Amino acid sequence: MKFTKFGKALLLSALSFGVLGVTSCVQSYTVGFLYVTSTATAQVSGNGMISGFKIDHNTGQLRTINGLPISSGGANPVRAVLIQASRFLYVLNRGVTASGGADCTSADPCLNSNITQFAIGANGIITPQETFFSQGTNPFRIISDSGGNYLLVLDHDSPSNGSNPNCGSALGNNLLACGDITVFQVNPTTGRLSVVTNTQVTSQNCPNNLLTCPLPYFPVPANPVDFMLTATNVLTLSGPPNTSYPYTGGNAVFPYTYNSGQLTVSQNSSQPINDGSPLVGSIPAGVPVGTGILSAGGFVYVLDNKAVLVNGSVVANSQILPFSVSAGGALQAQTGGAVPDDPTQENPIYAITESKNKWLYLANQGTGSTGSGITGYVIDPSTHQLTEMPGLPFVTGSGPQCIVEDPSDQFIYTANFNDSTVTGQSIDQSSGQLRPLVNGSSFTVTGPATYCLVNSRTN
């Protein structure tokens, strides 16, 4: 069969379109950016670092963002948040003690703690802007509300924590020591932060000889471990005194009602968290050693590191304690009770539910070189109970500090402290199980990783 010149042109055009069409279906592109904070530094100032990666849509592979890593703006960055359509990044730098140590305590607090603001530009590049400061000492957690209009920072110790009459007046008790939450309002244009004053409590330590003044923070019970925000409540997990960061041992939750940056005491006492376990010997196995609290899918989960040894034997594995939240922030134990962690895992530190709320993934920090990994659970759509996935644990780097899902809902990443890596895995869309990425799942970051977060804005 012969073709006219016109026919040949049409055929070549069609073939060309078909090839290009097939190519475009498998073409690699960046679906989001992954940012990782770390403690090690090449900066003369001793600051931490922020590393950044482009996430490949097809493979999940990571490529370094040009111009990164850069300084985090302070020493020991521990948490970070993205807000305002991912235009601004805020890094919480915990600082160091007067002797230069990282073990910040109430008696030997961290100095030069700050929140450093970064603007995010094209191709994921970040540029430092301004620096802000919380009201208390030893800040270690930062979160934002759903609209990105307010940032909340959890300080382990409130101002004048040794004898602070504002603690008792705010919390309805006689205590003179407490932690606090500093609330910042975000300027939507510049990203600049301004402190929100506490309209519920009048300060007893006013400047300039004033008799009354609004309190510039919101007290929480002493020795906070973690906190979280739902649409209507702020819940703080607290416990017995801890020597240094990372703070652990949370066994009670204190609720505030949240509304546009204001926190209002809805109950004057913390709610004890108890999983109902019987006592084991002389060790109160029913008292959790909480390491974290999070909100996901309308439920609250307390992470509990109960790897208790009695005569060399583990009598209580780590676990997840699920709760529903009723009016005023009161917690109701979820049907089914505590959900055990994989017996090979220790020290759960962070958890997420994936975008469709079908699966929950728990990052276990481990102890030393053991017990690190990811535990996965299937969420029952009717009862919301958690069931362990087969094939656990999913392997990750050593000492994961965080866990995130990429914007295309295909991949899970952890940033790992002990080996200074990021580990990527693909999600089986049928079972939720995690599989190693093709062409390698481990990526190096600058220094021991402390936190990670994902930016879905790619322009």
The tens place of each residue's pLDDT in the chain, 459 residues long, gives 444 544 444 444 444 444 444 444 557 799 999 999 999 766 667 899 999 999 999 999 999 999 999 999 999 999 999 998 889 999 999 999 988 888 888 889 999 999 999 999 989 999 999 999 999 999 999 999 999 999 999 999 999 877 888 888 888 777 889 999 999 999 999 999 999 999 888 777 777 766 678 899 999 999 999 999 998 999 999 988 888 888 988 889 999 999 999 999 877 678 888 655 544 444 444 557 889 999 988 899 999 987 555 565 556 678 999 998 888 888 888 888 889 999 899 899 999 999 999 999 999 999 887 889 999 999 998 888 999 999 999 999 999 999 999 999 999 999 999 999 999 999 999 999 999 999 999 999 999 999 999 998 887
Residue type, 169: S
The H or E element spanning position 150 is strand 150-157
C-alpha distances in Å from residue 398, one per residue of 8, 34, 148, 419, 422: 60, 19, 32, 6, 10
Whole-number Å distance between alpha carbons of 241 and 271: 17
Whole-number Å distance between alpha carbons of 351 and 297: 12
Whole-number Å distance between alpha carbons of 333 and 434: 29
Do 262 and 196 form a contact (C-beta atoms < 8 A)?
yes
31-455 CATH choice from 3.40.50.300, 3.30.300.20, 2.60.40.10, 2.130.10.10: 2.130.10.10
